Structure 1
Amino acid sequence: MVRIREMEEADVDAVSAIRVRGWQSAYAGIVPGTYLDAMTVEGDAQGRRTWFAHPLRQSTELVALDAGGELVGWISCGPYRGSVPGGRPTGEVYACYVRPDRIGRGVGRALLGEVHARMGERGFQAVSLWVLGDNRQARRFYERADYRPDGGTQDDVYDGVTLTELRYGRPLR
Protein backbone atom coordinates (compact mmCIF):
# COMPACT_ATOMS: atom_id res chain seq x y z
CA MET A 1 0.00 0.00 0.00
CA VAL A 2 1.33 3.42 -0.95
CA ARG A 3 0.27 6.97 -0.27
CA ILE A 4 0.60 9.56 -3.05
CA ARG A 5 1.20 13.23 -2.30
CA GLU A 6 2.60 16.37 -3.92
CA MET A 7 6.39 16.50 -3.98
CA GLU A 8 7.98 18.98 -1.57
CA GLU A 9 11.38 20.64 -1.77
CA ALA A 10 12.52 18.42 1.11
CA ASP A 11 11.95 15.40 -1.21
CA VAL A 12 14.52 16.48 -3.81
CA ASP A 13 17.39 14.28 -2.58
CA ALA A 14 15.20 11.18 -2.33
CA VAL A 15 13.63 11.83 -5.75
CA SER A 16 17.08 12.31 -7.30
CA ALA A 17 18.27 9.05 -5.75
CA ILE A 18 15.25 7.22 -7.19
CA ARG A 19 15.75 8.79 -10.62
CA VAL A 20 19.50 8.09 -10.85
CA ARG A 21 19.23 4.53 -9.47
CA GLY A 22 16.22 3.99 -11.73
CA TRP A 23 18.18 5.05 -14.80
CA GLN A 24 21.16 2.92 -13.83
CA SER A 25 18.94 -0.11 -13.30
CA ALA A 26 16.35 0.21 -16.08
CA TYR A 27 18.72 1.39 -18.80
CA ALA A 28 21.67 -0.93 -18.12
CA GLY A 29 22.51 -2.53 -21.46
CA ILE A 30 20.48 0.10 -23.33
CA VAL A 31 22.11 3.45 -22.52
CA PRO A 32 25.94 3.43 -22.65
CA GLY A 33 27.49 2.49 -19.32
CA THR A 34 29.75 5.54 -19.46
CA TYR A 35 26.67 7.78 -19.42
CA LEU A 36 25.00 5.85 -16.59
CA ASP A 37 28.20 5.72 -14.52
CA ALA A 38 28.61 9.48 -14.80
CA MET A 39 25.17 10.14 -13.28
CA THR A 40 25.24 11.24 -9.64
CA VAL A 41 22.51 11.83 -7.13
CA GLU A 42 24.20 15.07 -6.08
CA GLY A 43 24.33 16.44 -9.63
CA ASP A 44 20.73 15.48 -10.28
CA ALA A 45 19.60 17.03 -6.99
CA GLN A 46 21.37 20.30 -7.72
CA GLY A 47 19.58 20.70 -11.05
CA ARG A 48 16.29 19.48 -9.59
CA ARG A 49 16.36 22.08 -6.79
CA THR A 50 16.79 24.88 -9.34
CA TRP A 51 14.06 23.49 -11.54
CA PHE A 52 11.69 22.78 -8.61
CA ALA A 53 11.91 26.39 -7.45
CA HIS A 54 11.25 27.82 -10.94
CA PRO A 55 8.21 30.13 -10.65
CA LEU A 56 6.86 29.28 -14.15
CA ARG A 57 7.17 25.49 -13.81
CA GLN A 58 4.01 23.89 -15.25
CA SER A 59 4.62 20.34 -14.14
CA THR A 60 2.97 18.46 -11.33
CA GLU A 61 5.33 16.37 -9.22
CA LEU A 62 3.99 13.53 -7.11
CA VAL A 63 5.75 11.09 -4.81
CA ALA A 64 4.77 7.69 -3.47
CA LEU A 65 5.43 6.76 0.14
CA ASP A 66 5.30 3.24 1.50
CA ALA A 67 3.49 2.27 4.73
CA GLY A 68 6.56 3.33 6.74
CA GLY A 69 6.64 6.78 5.12
CA GLU A 70 9.68 6.06 2.94
CA LEU A 71 9.70 7.70 -0.49
CA VAL A 72 9.65 4.89 -3.07
CA GLY A 73 8.47 6.51 -6.31
CA TRP A 74 8.14 9.75 -8.24
CA ILE A 75 6.18 10.90 -11.26
CA SER A 76 6.20 14.18 -13.19
CA CYS A 77 3.47 15.31 -15.58
CA GLY A 78 1.92 18.34 -17.22
CA PRO A 79 0.75 19.66 -20.57
CA TYR A 80 2.04 17.82 -23.63
CA ARG A 81 5.25 19.39 -24.94
CA GLY A 82 5.14 19.76 -28.71
CA SER A 83 2.47 19.24 -31.32
CA VAL A 84 -0.49 17.58 -29.70
CA PRO A 85 -1.19 14.14 -31.19
CA GLY A 86 -4.81 13.90 -32.31
CA GLY A 87 -5.52 17.60 -31.76
CA ARG A 88 -7.29 17.12 -28.42
CA PRO A 89 -6.22 18.48 -25.01
CA THR A 90 -3.36 16.15 -24.07
CA GLY A 91 -1.24 15.78 -20.97
CA GLU A 92 2.15 14.14 -20.78
CA VAL A 93 3.91 11.93 -18.27
CA TYR A 94 7.39 13.45 -18.30
CA ALA A 95 8.99 10.88 -16.00
CA CYS A 96 7.99 7.96 -13.80
CA TYR A 97 10.49 6.13 -11.59
CA VAL A 98 10.15 3.61 -8.81
CA ARG A 99 12.94 2.54 -6.51
CA PRO A 100 14.38 -0.56 -8.25
CA ASP A 101 13.79 -2.82 -5.24
CA ARG A 102 10.08 -1.83 -5.22
CA ILE A 103 9.28 -2.48 -8.88
CA GLY A 104 6.38 -4.89 -9.31
CA ARG A 105 4.67 -3.93 -6.04
CA GLY A 106 2.07 -1.50 -7.40
CA VAL A 107 3.96 1.76 -6.79
CA GLY A 108 4.15 2.75 -10.47
CA ARG A 109 0.54 1.74 -11.04
CA ALA A 110 -0.57 3.92 -8.10
CA LEU A 111 1.43 6.92 -9.36
CA LEU A 112 0.08 6.53 -12.88
CA GLY A 113 -3.49 6.17 -11.62
CA GLU A 114 -3.22 9.38 -9.62
CA VAL A 115 -1.77 11.24 -12.62
CA HIS A 116 -4.63 10.02 -14.83
CA ALA A 117 -7.18 11.25 -12.28
CA ARG A 118 -5.52 14.66 -11.94
CA MET A 119 -5.13 15.11 -15.69
CA GLY A 120 -8.79 14.28 -16.20
CA GLU A 121 -9.71 16.91 -13.59
CA ARG A 122 -7.60 19.45 -15.52
CA GLY A 123 -9.60 18.79 -18.69
CA PHE A 124 -7.10 16.67 -20.58
CA GLN A 125 -8.75 14.09 -22.82
CA ALA A 126 -5.63 12.02 -23.48
CA VAL A 127 -2.15 11.44 -22.11
CA SER A 128 1.11 10.68 -23.90
CA LEU A 129 4.60 9.68 -22.83
CA TRP A 130 7.94 8.73 -24.37
CA VAL A 131 9.70 5.44 -23.69
CA LEU A 132 12.97 4.05 -25.04
CA GLY A 133 12.15 1.49 -27.70
CA ASP A 134 14.57 -1.03 -26.19
CA ASN A 135 13.12 -0.69 -22.68
CA ARG A 136 10.83 -3.71 -22.88
CA GLN A 137 9.99 -3.71 -19.16
CA ALA A 138 8.69 -0.12 -19.27
CA ARG A 139 6.81 -0.74 -22.50
CA ARG A 140 5.02 -3.75 -20.94
CA PHE A 141 4.18 -1.66 -17.86
CA TYR A 142 2.61 1.11 -19.93
CA GLU A 143 0.81 -1.34 -22.22
CA ARG A 144 -0.80 -2.95 -19.14
CA ALA A 145 -2.03 0.57 -18.28
CA ASP A 146 -3.74 0.79 -21.73
CA TYR A 147 -1.04 2.87 -23.44
CA ARG A 148 -0.33 2.08 -27.07
CA PRO A 149 2.40 3.29 -29.43
CA ASP A 150 0.95 5.93 -31.74
CA GLY A 151 3.74 6.02 -34.35
CA GLY A 152 5.61 9.03 -32.95
CA THR A 153 9.37 8.63 -32.58
CA GLN A 154 12.30 10.79 -31.56
CA ASP A 155 16.00 10.13 -31.23
CA ASP A 156 18.23 10.99 -28.28
CA VAL A 157 22.01 10.70 -28.22
CA TYR A 158 23.82 9.37 -25.15
CA ASP A 159 27.63 9.39 -25.29
CA GLY A 160 27.53 9.15 -29.07
CA VAL A 161 24.92 6.39 -29.20
CA THR A 162 21.57 7.25 -30.80
CA LEU A 163 18.55 5.68 -29.13
CA THR A 164 14.99 5.87 -30.37
CA GLU A 165 12.09 6.76 -28.12
CA LEU A 166 8.53 5.75 -28.97
CA ARG A 167 5.53 7.86 -28.13
CA TYR A 168 2.75 6.02 -26.34
CA GLY A 169 -0.70 7.42 -25.68
CA ARG A 170 -4.07 6.60 -24.23
CA PRO A 171 -7.41 8.33 -23.82
CA LEU A 172 -8.48 9.49 -20.40
CA ARG A 173 -11.90 8.33 -19.29
Structure 2
Amino acid sequence: MDDHSPAPVHIREMTLADCPRVAEIRVRGWQNAYKGLMPRSYLDGLDVAAELPRRRAHFTQAGEGVVNLVAQWAGEVVGWSCHGPYREGERRTGDAELYAIYVAPDRIARGVGRALLRNSVARSAAAGHERMLLRVLRENASARRFYERAGFLADGAEEPFEIEGVEVPEVRYVRLLGGTGGP
Protein backbone atom coordinates (compact mmCIF):
# COMPACT_ATOMS: atom_id res chain seq x y z
CA MET A 1 0.00 0.00 0.00
CA ASP A 2 1.26 3.46 -0.91
CA ASP A 3 1.90 5.61 2.21
CA HIS A 4 -0.38 8.28 0.77
CA SER A 5 -3.34 5.99 0.10
CA PRO A 6 -6.30 6.48 2.37
CA ALA A 7 -6.55 3.87 5.09
CA PRO A 8 -9.16 3.44 7.76
CA VAL A 9 -8.10 4.65 11.18
CA HIS A 10 -9.09 2.33 14.00
CA ILE A 11 -9.29 3.77 17.53
CA ARG A 12 -8.93 1.47 20.50
CA GLU A 13 -7.98 1.64 24.16
CA MET A 14 -4.26 1.59 24.77
CA THR A 15 -2.58 -1.41 26.40
CA LEU A 16 0.68 -1.64 28.32
CA ALA A 17 2.24 -3.26 25.24
CA ASP A 18 1.61 0.01 23.32
CA CYS A 19 3.84 2.05 25.65
CA PRO A 20 7.05 1.80 23.55
CA ARG A 21 5.29 3.06 20.41
CA VAL A 22 3.39 5.73 22.35
CA ALA A 23 6.67 6.95 23.88
CA GLU A 24 8.13 7.23 20.39
CA ILE A 25 5.06 9.05 19.03
CA ARG A 26 5.09 11.48 21.96
CA VAL A 27 8.80 12.33 21.63
CA ARG A 28 8.69 12.64 17.82
CA GLY A 29 5.45 14.59 18.14
CA TRP A 30 7.05 17.12 20.50
CA GLN A 31 10.11 17.42 18.26
CA ASN A 32 7.93 17.99 15.20
CA ALA A 33 5.10 20.12 16.59
CA TYR A 34 7.16 22.38 18.83
CA LYS A 35 10.08 23.07 16.48
CA GLY A 36 10.64 26.83 16.60
CA LEU A 37 8.33 27.18 19.61
CA MET A 38 10.64 25.66 22.24
CA PRO A 39 14.40 25.69 22.63
CA ARG A 40 15.99 23.36 20.09
CA SER A 41 18.40 22.01 22.72
CA TYR A 42 15.44 20.84 24.79
CA LEU A 43 13.70 19.16 21.85
CA ASP A 44 16.93 17.55 20.65
CA GLY A 45 17.48 16.20 24.15
CA LEU A 46 14.16 14.35 24.26
CA ASP A 47 14.80 10.63 24.24
CA VAL A 48 12.41 7.74 23.57
CA ALA A 49 14.27 5.41 25.95
CA ALA A 50 13.92 7.96 28.77
CA GLU A 51 10.27 8.60 27.91
CA LEU A 52 9.29 4.92 28.00
CA PRO A 53 9.33 4.46 31.81
CA ARG A 54 7.27 7.67 32.16
CA ARG A 55 4.66 6.41 29.69
CA ARG A 56 4.47 3.06 31.51
CA ALA A 57 4.12 4.78 34.89
CA HIS A 58 1.46 7.19 33.63
CA PHE A 59 -0.43 4.31 32.06
CA THR A 60 -0.29 1.92 35.01
CA GLN A 61 -1.00 4.65 37.58
CA ALA A 62 -3.74 6.44 35.65
CA GLY A 63 -6.47 7.59 37.97
CA GLU A 64 -10.15 6.93 37.76
CA GLY A 65 -11.70 8.20 34.55
CA VAL A 66 -8.40 8.54 32.66
CA VAL A 67 -8.65 7.05 29.17
CA ASN A 68 -5.65 6.36 26.91
CA LEU A 69 -6.48 5.70 23.27
CA VAL A 70 -4.35 4.71 20.31
CA ALA A 71 -5.02 5.08 16.62
CA GLN A 72 -4.05 2.27 14.30
CA TRP A 73 -3.48 2.68 10.58
CA ALA A 74 -3.10 -0.58 8.65
CA GLY A 75 -2.33 -2.30 11.96
CA GLU A 76 0.38 0.15 13.05
CA VAL A 77 -0.09 2.45 16.05
CA VAL A 78 0.25 5.96 14.62
CA GLY A 79 -1.39 8.16 17.24
CA TRP A 80 -2.20 8.49 20.92
CA SER A 81 -4.51 10.57 23.04
CA CYS A 82 -5.29 10.74 26.72
CA HIS A 83 -8.25 12.38 28.43
CA GLY A 84 -9.85 12.34 31.84
CA PRO A 85 -11.11 14.56 34.64
CA TYR A 86 -10.27 18.25 34.30
CA ARG A 87 -7.44 19.35 36.59
CA GLU A 88 -7.89 22.75 38.20
CA GLY A 89 -4.74 22.65 40.29
CA GLU A 90 -5.38 19.89 42.81
CA ARG A 91 -9.15 20.28 42.49
CA ARG A 92 -11.15 18.08 40.12
CA THR A 93 -14.25 19.43 38.40
CA GLY A 94 -17.06 17.71 36.51
CA ASP A 95 -15.46 18.66 33.21
CA ALA A 96 -13.25 16.52 31.01
CA GLU A 97 -9.76 17.46 29.87
CA LEU A 98 -7.79 16.37 26.84
CA TYR A 99 -4.36 15.85 28.39
CA ALA A 100 -2.50 14.86 25.24
CA ILE A 101 -2.92 14.05 21.58
CA TYR A 102 -0.01 13.19 19.31
CA VAL A 103 0.24 11.72 15.84
CA ALA A 104 3.29 10.18 14.19
CA PRO A 105 4.79 12.97 12.06
CA ASP A 106 4.37 10.94 8.84
CA ARG A 107 0.62 10.57 9.50
CA ILE A 108 -0.25 14.20 10.28
CA ALA A 109 -3.09 15.74 8.25
CA ARG A 110 -4.56 12.34 7.34
CA GLY A 111 -7.45 12.19 9.79
CA VAL A 112 -5.67 10.38 12.62
CA GLY A 113 -5.81 13.31 15.05
CA ARG A 114 -9.43 14.05 14.12
CA ALA A 115 -10.38 10.42 14.78
CA LEU A 116 -8.65 10.42 18.17
CA LEU A 117 -10.20 13.75 19.16
CA ARG A 118 -13.66 12.70 17.95
CA ASN A 119 -13.43 9.52 20.06
CA SER A 120 -12.22 11.39 23.17
CA VAL A 121 -15.01 13.95 22.81
CA ALA A 122 -17.66 11.25 22.32
CA ARG A 123 -16.43 9.23 25.30
CA SER A 124 -16.35 12.33 27.50
CA ALA A 125 -19.90 13.27 26.47
CA ALA A 126 -21.10 9.71 27.07
CA ALA A 127 -19.52 9.83 30.55
CA GLY A 128 -21.75 12.81 31.33
CA HIS A 129 -19.20 15.62 31.08
CA GLU A 130 -20.71 18.90 29.91
CA ARG A 131 -17.44 20.44 28.71
CA MET A 132 -14.00 19.36 27.54
CA LEU A 133 -11.04 21.63 28.13
CA LEU A 134 -7.47 21.49 26.87
CA ARG A 135 -4.31 23.57 26.85
CA VAL A 136 -2.26 24.40 23.79
CA LEU A 137 0.88 26.48 23.30
CA ARG A 138 -0.20 30.03 22.51
CA GLU A 139 2.12 30.23 19.50
CA ASN A 140 1.14 26.82 18.06
CA ALA A 141 -1.09 28.19 15.29
CA SER A 142 -1.64 24.85 13.52
CA ALA A 143 -2.80 23.10 16.71
CA ARG A 144 -5.05 26.02 17.56
CA ARG A 145 -6.67 25.82 14.09
CA PHE A 146 -7.10 22.05 14.54
CA TYR A 147 -8.98 22.52 17.82
CA GLU A 148 -11.02 25.46 16.52
CA ARG A 149 -12.18 23.40 13.53
CA ALA A 150 -13.29 20.76 16.06
CA GLY A 151 -15.50 23.25 17.90
CA PHE A 152 -13.12 24.33 20.68
CA LEU A 153 -12.81 28.01 21.55
CA ALA A 154 -10.13 29.84 23.52
CA ASP A 155 -11.76 31.00 26.75
CA GLY A 156 -9.20 33.70 27.65
CA ALA A 157 -7.38 31.72 30.34
CA GLU A 158 -3.63 31.55 29.92
CA GLU A 159 -1.12 29.56 31.90
CA PRO A 160 2.61 30.25 32.14
CA PHE A 161 4.88 27.48 30.93
CA GLU A 162 8.64 27.62 30.73
CA ILE A 163 11.21 25.39 29.05
CA GLU A 164 14.91 26.05 29.68
CA GLY A 165 14.17 29.62 30.70
CA VAL A 166 12.04 30.35 27.62
CA GLU A 167 8.40 31.35 28.13
CA VAL A 168 6.03 29.18 26.10
CA PRO A 169 2.62 30.07 27.56
CA GLU A 170 -0.40 27.88 27.03
CA VAL A 171 -3.94 29.02 26.33
CA ARG A 172 -6.99 27.11 27.42
CA TYR A 173 -9.66 25.96 25.00
CA VAL A 174 -13.13 24.69 25.84
CA ARG A 175 -15.87 22.88 23.99
CA LEU A 176 -19.40 22.25 25.18
CA LEU A 177 -20.18 18.56 24.79
CA GLY A 178 -23.86 18.08 25.32
CA GLY A 179 -23.60 14.57 23.91
CA THR A 180 -23.48 15.83 20.32
CA GLY A 181 -20.66 13.65 19.05
CA GLY A 182 -17.32 14.74 17.73
CA PRO A 183 -15.41 17.15 15.55
TM > 0.5 fold call? yes
Give the match's secondary structure for 1:90.
strand
- Map of 2:14 onto structure 1: 7
Q: CA deviation at 1:128?
A: 0.4
For structure 2, the residue ranges without an aligned partner over 5 or more in a row are 1-7, 179-183
Q: CA deviation at 1:25?
A: 0.4
Segments ≥4 residues shifted beyond 2 Å: 55-58
Q: Which amino acid in structure 1 is aligned with residue 176 of structure 2? A: P
**1:70-89 alignment runs, 5 A limit:** 70-82=76-88, 89=94
CA deviations 1:71-118 (Å, max 9, x no partner) are 0100000010007xxxx8310000000111111110010001111111
Scaled by the length of structure 1, the TM-score of the pair is 0.93
The alignment status of 1:142 with 2:147, answered yes or no, reads yes
Give the match's secondary structure for 2:133.
strand
- Map of 1:38 onto structure 2: 45
Aligned residue pairs total: 168
Contact kept? 1:51, 1:57, Cα under 8 Å: no
Q: Which amino acid in structure 1 is aligned with residue 166 of structure 2? A: V
Q: CA deviation at 1:3?
A: 0.4
For structure 1, the residue ranges without an aligned partner over 5 or more in a row are none
The percent identity for this pair of structures is 47
- Map of 1:122 onto structure 2: 127
- Map of 2:114 onto structure 1: 109
Q: Which amino acid in structure 1 is aligned with residue 105 of structure 2? A: P
Give the match's secondary structure for 1:81.
strand
Q: Which amino acid in structure 2 is aligned with residue 116 of structure 1? A: V
| Aligned-partner Cα distance in 1 for 2:98–2:141 | 18
- Map of 1:94 onto structure 2: 99
CA deviations 1:111-154 (Å, max 9, x no partner) are 01111111011110110000001101100100000111001110
Scaled by the length of structure 2, the TM-score of the pair is 0.88
Q: CA deviation at 1:163?
A: 1.1
- Map of 2:5 onto structure 1: none
